[in-house]
Structure 1
Amino acid sequence: MRYRVQDKAFSIGDDSWIEDEQGGRPFLLDGKTLRVRQTYELKDDTGEVLLEIRRKIVALRETMVVERDGAAVARIRRKVKLVRDRFDVDLAGGEEWTATGDLIGKEYEIDRDSDGARVAAVSRRWLRLRDTYTVDVGEGFDVPLVLATAVAVDALARSEPDR
């Protein structure tokens, strides 16, 4: 299933609907203001918070944490880049994903490390709107978690890399 995410959601305090292929609005990305660290909430269409996406304040590498009901379900970290951008995604159950490609230009893939299965493809190429990109979620994956991961990767890709 393909979802459309607007970049303007990355201004803290801005809210943005995430739309599906049929034009429905199943998710709201809520940028929280007045927080010590960069924080977003991914809500369903009724306003219930599904996941919270937060930048870790103290970390050796830039890190975003995705929480469900107060428990960390994923940690997204910038990998030292040699040739191309890469982010590691460590899931609570021990599974690992990797995001590689042109992360700033939003042309990248998220793959499961254990078998190489495509978790999602993120792209701007399908859209005419400059401030929008799509997240094509692979079948059988937790859609809110995949969307939260793409939001975290985008937030980290926009910031200065650790040096």
Structure 2
Amino acid sequence: MKYLVREKMFSIGDDFWIEDEHGDRAFYVDGKVLRLRETLVVKDPHGRELAVVHKKMLSVRDAMTVERDGRVLATVRKKLFTPFRDVYRAELASGGELEIRGDIVDKEYDIEYGDERLARISRKWFRLRDTYAVHVERDDADPVLLIAVAVCVDRLVEHEHERG
């Protein structure tokens, strides 16, 4: 299943819909204002909270967390010591790790678990400016987690570019 995500929409105060490949509203993203740290809440079309994305406050290097029901599911940060390309990783609370690699800045990358691709993030499927797709490739994968990880990577890259 492919989900349409509008880039640069993930900021405090921005609320918008993520649509599926058929144009149906799949997830609502609520950018919370008046919070001490950057917070985005992903909801289903009926308003039920599915995940909360936070920028980690006190960390040596930028990191974001994905939470569900008050528990951290994943912590996303840039991987150290990758001299030739940007690689991010999502440390899962279960002890596993998702690796995010490819052309991160241009939104042509994969989210992998071990040697298996769970999702591909790509702009090439859409002609709309500032839009990319999250193509969840496995039926048993958690689309909310994968979309939230893509959101974290998007925000972390943007923060890195803002710092110069």
Instruction: Please give the range of the TM-score, normalised by the shorter of the 2 chains.
Output: over 0.9
**C-alpha distance in 1 between matches for 2:102 and 2:130:** 19
Letter in 2 for 1:85: D
Which residue does 2:40 correspond to in 1?
Answer: 40
Report the CA distance between 1:8 and its aligned residue.
Answer: 3.9
Q: Which segment drifts farther, 76-85 or 56-65?
A: 76-85
**C-alpha distance in 2 between matches for 1:37 and 1:76:** 16
Q: Deviations over 1:32-70 (max 9, x none)?
A: 111111110010000111100000011122110000011
- Flag as ranges the 4+ runs of structure 1 deviating above 2 A: none
Query: Scaled by the length of structure 2, what TM-score is found?
Result: 0.93
Q: Secondary structure at the match of 1:160?
A: helix
- Counterparts of 1:1-163 in structure 2, within 5 Å, are 1-80=1-80, 81-113=82-114, 116-139=115-138, 140-160=140-160
**C-alpha distance in 2 between matches for 1:106 and 1:8:** 12
Aligned residues: 161
Q: Deviations over 1:99-134 (max 9, x none)?
A: 011112111111112xx1101100101111111100
1:16 touches 1:30 (CA, 8 Å); kept in 2? yes
Report the CA distance between 1:10 and its aligned residue.
Answer: 1.6
Report the CA distance between 1:85 and its aligned residue.
Answer: 0.7
Query: Scaled by the length of structure 1, what TM-score is found?
Result: 0.93
Q: Secondary structure at the match of 1:104?
A: coil
Q: Secondary structure at the match of 1:89?
A: strand
**C-alpha distance in 2 between matches for 1:134 and 1:95:** 25
**C-alpha distance in 2 between matches for 1:59 and 1:46:** 34
Letter in 2 for 1:53: V
> Tell me, which stretches of 5 or more residues in structure 1 are unaligned?
none
**C-alpha distance in 1 between matches for 2:126 and 2:26:** 19
Q: Secondary structure at the match of 1:28?
A: strand
1:107 touches 1:123 (CA, 8 Å); kept in 2? yes
Report the CA distance between 1:9 and its aligned residue.
Answer: 2.0
Letter in 2 for 1:101: G
Identity across matched positions, percent: 46
Aligned-pair Cα RMSD in Å: 1.6
